[in-house]
Chains A and B, each alone.
Chain A
Amino acid sequence: MRATFLFSILFLLLLGSCSKNKDGIGELTVQMYHHVDGSILNFNAMNYNNDAGYPYSVTRLEYYLSNFEFTDLSGHTYKSSKVFYINADKDETCNFSFSDIPSGHYSKIQFLVGLDTAHNKTDFLDPTVENANMAWPDMMGGGYHFIKFEGLFNANNANNGFALHLGTNGLAVPINIEKPFTIFKDKSSTLLLNMNLNEWFRSPEIYDFLQDGSYSMDNMNAMMKLSRNGKDLFN
């Protein structure tokens, strides 16, 4: 049951009704969940196995989501320029809202894990402590970490660290999800997005810590592979 819950992107109508849709705007709150092939994410636990065969734990998961687009059945698109910072270990950062979405029936969600070129510039985002900690050093290209995914993995009977950091223009991960949902006028609704961390390691190419690199920050091949694998994170 839990797997069903986690695998699905659910649209929950919290305050809305089944009344006929009318023109106007409604609010959508997006709630982020994180799991590994259906097992809810617990930090610091060597509970998970990736497709390269390594048991692993997660000690840090921080990232940005941006460039949200919601497309309705008529092909009209609602776009947002907001950037959202998520720290999976801090519940207060794992939900965010859009307050002005035109009511209607939607069929498609698109967004980036990371930042586009326009946003990925040193000191461009609001000067919060969180954004400061996500900075990507100027001498490595500037801008921000799109994601920090860190933990331990077991290989050769020893625990080793991994630090999968993705940044650099062009490597943000585009996400496209086909999912019908409805926004009702003057109502608030919640959308659940489930990130499966094992997808970072899975497809189209298996990511192997010992082959591809346990840290990625100055390893363009590793970052490109992670970026390509990210497409299925929310499937």
Chain B
Amino acid sequence: MVETPIALNIPPFFPNMVIPEDNQMTAERLSLGRKLYYDPILSNNGRSCSSCHLQEMGFTSNVTSGFTVLPHINLGWNHHFLWQGGESGHLEDVMMFEVNDFFATDINKLNADETYKALFKKAYGVKEISSKNVAYALAQFFRSMISGNSKFDKYRSGEATLNISEMRGMNIFYSEKGDCFHCHGGMLFTDNDFHNTGLDATFAQGNQGRYEVTKNPNDIGLYKTPTLRNSGVRQQYMHDGRFTTLLQVIDFYNDGFHKNSPNIDPLMILPEKENGLQLTAQDKADLVAFLNTLTDTNFLSDTTLSHP
């Protein structure tokens, strides 16, 4: 086994990332995880992670299978994964799900591949590759998929200025006027929690959000808060992709939600905001301008994250 320890480049002001003791970052493991991410050997239908997670779209895509594709951005700080939080824990845990259940990876194919056998021996010191080894290597690459170099980040570090519209949008975002920050706050632009923002008045059996995982009636209609980083390059929004532009999303939060939706988040039905946020067309345009400052073009074209 060859271990070349590496340190992740954590952007300024980001929280500490917790990395499990038994999967500390090494160059060999990270490189292996990157190769696996792009390799259809993981699946039995010719697909790889990268089939649905396109770098130029912030590692998401327009592929849908009931749910939109959540972006692979800053997941090293997450502890709930997928729209309903179907998997919780570390990246290693969700990667075990991906290998064993989502892809149903045929581990024999990897063990029959001399290149992979050599790479796993080098990275993890194993002669026989296990699904856990694959999951752990993938977790290494996911942990490196860090987006924190957007115009907003540069502004926060004093290296860039926002224009007037972006500044106005930021003021709306971080004030009670827009009240975006309570769920999409911090440098991750997600609270990694679940909320019902009133997308629907009712939720059909089998499609009731977090409830499908917990079976707690208080979780009916709750879905994970997605990060807003790189949201400007997405083409689908919400868990079911019902919106295709940021402006549509803002219109929904302005006055389009269902107030009587079960378990709606209290912040959505404050009496003083009974008539919605009352954002003007200019306010909405300013918010879109601010959200676009979260686009990290370096991340979208980072060659250390691209197909090896």
Contact = CB atoms under 8 A, between A and B. Distances in A.
A44 B218 contact: yes
Interface stretch (A97-105, A154-162, A175-183): A154-162
Nearest to B16: A127
Nearest to B188: A132
Contacts of B13: 123, 127
A43 interface: yes
Interface residues of A, number: 33
B174 A161 contact: no
Q: Which of A59, A131, A215 has the most CB of B within 10 A?
A: A215
B192 interface: yes
Contact of B176 (A132, A133, A155, A218): A218
Contacts of A128: 15-16
A213 B175 CA distance: 16
A209 B176 contact: no
Interface residues of B, number: 30
Contacts of B265: 59, 161
A140 B186 contact: no
Contacts of B14: 127
A132 B186 CA distance: 5
B15 A127 contact: yes
B266 interface: yes
A95 B270 CA distance: 32
A210 interface: yes
A132 B270 contact: no
A162 B266 contact: yes
Task: Name the residue among B79, B182, B266 with the largest chain A CB count within 10 angstroms.
Answer: B266
Interface string A139-165: 110000000001110010001111100
A150 B271 contact: no
B248 to A, nearest CB: 24
Contacts of A209: 271
A10 interface: no
B270 A160 contact: yes
B191 interface: yes
A96 B191 CA distance: 23
Interface string A116-139: 000000010011110111010111
A133 B186 contact: yes
A139 B263 contact: no
Contacts of A137: 174-175, 181, 185
A160 B269 contact: yes
A94 interface: no
A217 interface: yes
Nearest to B174: A137
A217 B176 contact: yes
Contact of B185 (A123, A132, A214): A132
A221 to B, nearest CB: 14
A151 B16 CA distance: 30
A60 B13 CA distance: 25
B41 interface: no
A214 B174 contact: no
A214 B272 contact: yes
A131 B15 CA distance: 8
B50 interface: no
Contacts of B266: 59-60, 150-152, 161-163
B107 to A, nearest CB: 33
A169 B234 CA distance: 39
A129 B188 contact: yes
Interface in A188-218: 209-210, 213-215, 217-218
B165 interface: no
Contacts of A162: 266, 270
Interface string B76-103: 0101000000000000000000000000
A202 B271 CA distance: 21
Interface in B201-220: 218
A140 B182 CA distance: 13
Nearest to A215: B270
Interface of B: 13-16, 77, 79, 170-171, 174-176, 181-182, 185-188, 191-192, 218, 263-272
Closest 9 pairs (CB-CB, A-B): A161-B266, A132-B186, A137-B174, A44-B218, A161-B269, A127-B15, A218-B176, A129-B15, A161-B270
Given A137-B185, A139-B174, 13 more contacts: A127-B13, A127-B15, A132-B186, A137-B174, A139-B170, A140-B174, A160-B270, A161-B265, A161-B266, A161-B268, A161-B270, A163-B270, A215-B176
16 contacts: A59-B265, A60-B266, A127-B13, A128-B15, A128-B16, A132-B185, A133-B191, A137-B181, A137-B185, A138-B174, A140-B175, A151-B266, A161-B265, A161-B269, A162-B266, A217-B176
